[in-house]
Amino acid sequence: MNEELLNVVVRKREIQGDDVVVLDLERVDGEWLPAFDAGAHVDIHIADGLVRQYSLCGDPADSSVYRLGVLKDPASRGGSVGVHETLLEGRELQISAPRNLFPLAAQAQRTILLGGGIGITPMIAMAHALKQQGADFELHYCGRSRSRSAFLDELANAPFAAQVFTHFDDEGPQQRLDLAAVLGHGKTGTHMYTCGPAGFMDWVIGGARQQGYAEDHIHKEYFQVEVDASGDSFEVVAARSNKTVQVAEGQTILDALAQVGIKIEISCEQGVCGTCLCDVLEGEPDHRDVYLTDEEKAANDQILVCCSRAKSNKLVLDI
């Protein structure tokens, strides 16, 4: 995936809540940044070979700045720690143009936004867009504690503040999220969006299904998932490279290909971003990503090699 990168500078940096750094990025040349739609993210080139995706959480109507919120993850593989330690005010860096894998549904009659922890970031941009559209929506922000949560002042002073509801584990039961009540019954025209830790999202998605929401009315964006590389070994044929490699139990296709000199562009390494997507020419993938839709997985003509494996004894890939 080759693309033109944008040269930006950190104009403002602020630590909020419990180790969330909020960054305002502007173009180095002072020109407007490319417009983005709510739900979009950018690839941040933190260091050589270290690229991570972060949601844009600013107002999509403002193209002068890209706003990001990044939680310092104690289990970081270099991304969030790199952001916190190196992206200081005045630092110049490169980012991709915005890409949107989590767009708002244009036909929604009502929208419910549910953000858990740092998963609030794309929801803020969505709330800005929905407010400007005059749409019917609610934004629910869930966290462990108010003191550890970012963006609270911003949300309290936003033009959509009346539509924001906060729910914190260490506060009274009256403010806890009553998921069934918030979701209501899955009426036609109501769309639900969620982002946050996997456990939170699984709970929300399960609740939406129980309330009768259609699958295409449940929208989700994972920012971190557990990679499961277990399973029997299998053969991968790289058709264009004319190379064959055996993928061992506990090994990723990505690592096996690297051993025979085939380098695949990667970023998240968790099946979230889609950077390492390859076409499947033969064989049946064992999809373990959260990037492809259920329909795309059923087609079995694409695979994310950073995390997925094979159900068949051999996969032939168009690489």
What's the CATH code of the domain at 306?
Answer: 3.10.20.30
CATH number of 127's domain: 3.40.50.80
Average pLDDT estimate for 144-173:
95
Read off the pLDDT of each residue in 195-215 and give the average, rounded to a whole number. 95
Q: What pLDDT sits at residue 71? A: 94
In a domain, 125, yes or no: yes
Asked if 231 and 315 count as a contact pair (C-beta separation under 8 A), the reply is no
- Give a yes or no: residue 187 inside a domain: yes
Do 121 and 216 reside in the same domain of the chain?
yes
Give the count of domains, the chain: 3
Mean predicted confidence (pLDDT) in 3-8 = 89
Please give the Cα distance from 247 to 287 (Å, whole number): 15
Residues 77 and 126 in one domain: no
- Does the residue 105 lie in any domain? no
Strand-strand pairing, 50-55 and 234-238: unpaired
In the predicted model, what is the mean pLDDT of the chain?
92
Domain hosting 67: range is 6-95
User: What average pLDDT score do residues 281-309 get?
Assistant: 92
Backbone conformation region of residue 57, classed left if phi is above 0, alpha if psi is from -120 to 50, else beta: alpha
Which of the listed residues 192, 222, 252 is the one where a domain comes to its end? 222
Mean pLDDT confidence for 279-297: 91
Task: Compute the average pLDDT of residues 138-147.
Answer: 96
- Cα separation, 125 vs 104, in Å, equals 10
- pLDDT band with cut points at 50, 70 and 90 for residue 34: very high
On whether residue 157 sits in a domain, the answer given is yes
Residue 1's pLDDT is what?
44
pLDDT at 262 over 90: yes
Task: Tell me the average pLDDT across 11-19.
Answer: 95
- Is residue 312 exposed (0-12), middle (13-18) or buried (19+ Cβ within 10 Å)? middle
Residue 77 scores a pLDDT above 70: no
Strands, E assignment, 117-217 = 137-143, 164-168, 190-196
